[in-house]
């Protein structure tokens, strides 16, 4: 190579142009590897942490949250529901979150940040908060915003100074996963059907309370009765014993069934589903709720006479 060529290659501008042209030619030839986005790997919530870590959730009615909390506690988890979001939470969501999000996202993530800030103001360090709490939310696959909420939560938490705070995502396709080992929040039949009951109960009671309260004769009786009903149903969801097939079959069937794991698991799963939906503790609690509702004195013609 001549001295003149060496001199030209030492020219920064010419070297930059050569590098750019080389990259263009390699890209056209398909030789440049595209750097695809990969979701950041976060520290898993594992089974060994269940007794030390509290699961946070929120964003629903007080009735839904009472039932969901009962299901969590009945499955052996520590959990807390976050307070109802306010305007201050919304402003925090806008401050720390991305632009262009929907209002529910701003309220939810801002409410989470606000809750963590309150824990910090009570004397907990940010490191203790990140180690001692996780947030539980729903998610989905695909390119819609619902499929990206998890990243938005983490982005806002990072901006607020809680980098590394874990977000547990429950997805329809794969449940709750941990990166390694047994997951801290394990999706079992009892937990899954219990959550289904919690959501259904919350919906039904919300519907009933709006049908009864406008016609109540004794003002405030509906709210009082429904609070009692919610407490009773939540206690049932929290304390009823889980169904286990080997504890219910006759003695002569226990050993043969225990040796056939496939059949044992199948019958155990079916029994758990039936017990959660139609078991006596659950149906008795529903019957007590019905009797309390029927005891509320109402006047359906009161509005028409006023």
The closest of 188, 190, 186 to 242, measured between CA atoms, is 190
Does any domain span residue 290?
Answer: yes
Are 209 and 287 within one domain?
yes
Specify whether 65 is located in the same domain as 139.
Answer: yes
For residues 142 and 204, membership in a common domain is answered with no
CA nearest to 180, candidates 31, 18, 16, 43:
43
Please say whether the beta carbons of 90 and 113 come within 8 A: no
Q: Specify if 218 maps to a domain.
A: yes
Residue 14 lies in a domain: no
| DSSP 8-state code for residue 216 | B
pLDDT in tens, 45-72: 888 888 889 999 887 888 988 999 999 9
Model pLDDT, residue 222: 94
pLDDT confidence of residue 83: 86
Same domain for 152 and 248?
no
Task: Determine, yes or no, domain membership for 81.
Answer: yes
Domain count for the chain:
2
24 occurs within a structural domain: no
Is the same domain home to 226 and 126?
no
pLDDT in tens, the chain (306 residues): 555 555 555 667 777 888 888 888 877 777 666 666 666 666 778 888 888 899 998 878 889 889 999 999 998 889 898 888 889 999 999 999 888 777 888 888 899 999 999 999 999 999 999 999 998 876 555 455 555 677 788 888 999 999 889 887 665 444 444 333 456 777 788 988 998 999 999 999 999 999 999 999 999 999 999 999 999 999 999 999 999 998 888 888 888 888 889 989 999 999 999 999 999 999 999 999 999 999 999 998 876 555
Look up the domain containing 91 and give its range.
47-171
Task: Mark whether 196 and 163 lie in a shared domain.
Answer: no
Same domain, 118 and 207: no
Which CATH number belongs to the domain containing residue 83 in this structure? 3.40.50
User: Of 268, 240, 201, which is closest to residue 73 (Cα–Cα)?
Assistant: 240
Q: Tell me, what's the pLDDT at 174? A: 45
Range 274-277, long-range pairs (CB < 8 A, 24+ positions):
274/243, 275/242, 275/243, 276/189, 276/190, 276/193, 276/194, 276/196, 276/197, 276/243, 277/193, 277/197
Q: Say what the pLDDT of residue 305 is.
A: 55
Q: Is residue 92 located within the same domain as residue 148?
A: yes
In a domain, 181, yes or no: no
At 217 the pLDDT is 92
Assess if residue 13 is contained within a domain: no
The answer to whether residue 60 is domain-embedded is: yes
For residues 227 and 296, membership in a common domain is answered with yes
Q: Are residues 260 and 201 in the same domain?
A: yes
Q: How many helices (H) and strands (E) does the chain have?
A: 13, 4
The pLDDT score that the predictor gives to residue 141 is 53
Quick one: 165 and 206 in the same domain?
Answer: no
147/103 same-domain check: yes
């Amino acid at each position: 190579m001549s001295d003149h060529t060496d001199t030209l290659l030492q020219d920064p501008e010419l070297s930059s142009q050569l590098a750019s042209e080389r990259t263009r030619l390699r890209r056209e030839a398909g030789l440049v590897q595209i750097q695809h986005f990969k979701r950041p790997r976060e520290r898993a919530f594992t089974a060994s942490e269940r007794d030390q870590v509290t699961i946070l959730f929120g964003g629903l009615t007080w009735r839904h949250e009472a039932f969901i909390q009962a299901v969590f506690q009945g499955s052996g988890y520590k959990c807390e529901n976050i307070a109802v979001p306010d305007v201050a939470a919304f402003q925090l969501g806008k401050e720390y979150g991305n632009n262009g999000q929907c209002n529910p996202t701003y309220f939810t993530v801002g409410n989470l940040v606000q809750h963590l800030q309150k824990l910090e103001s009570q004397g907990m360090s940010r490191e203790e908060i990140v180690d001692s709490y996780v947030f539980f939310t729903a998610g989905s696959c695909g390119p819609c915003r619902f499929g990206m909420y998890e990243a938005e939560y983490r982005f806002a938490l990072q901006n607020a100074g809680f980098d590394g705070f874990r977000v547990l995502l429950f997805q329809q396709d794969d449940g709750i996963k941990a990166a390694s080992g047994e997951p801290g929040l394990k999706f079992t039949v009892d937990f899954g059907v219990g959550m289904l009951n919690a959501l259904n109960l919350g919906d039904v009671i919300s519907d009933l309370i709006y049908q009864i309260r406008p016609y109540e004769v004794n003002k405030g009786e509906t709210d009082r009765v429904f609070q009692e009903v919610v407490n009773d149903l939540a206690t049932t969801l929290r304390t009823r014993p889980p169904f286990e097939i080997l504890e219910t079959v006759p003695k002569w069937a226990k050993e043969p069934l225990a040796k056939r794991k496939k059949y044992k698991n199948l019958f155990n799963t079916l029994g758990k589903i039936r017990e959660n939906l139609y078991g006596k503790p659950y149906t008795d609690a529903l019957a007590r709720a019905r009797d309390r509702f029927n005891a509320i004195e109402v006047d359906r013609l009161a509005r028409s006479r006023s």
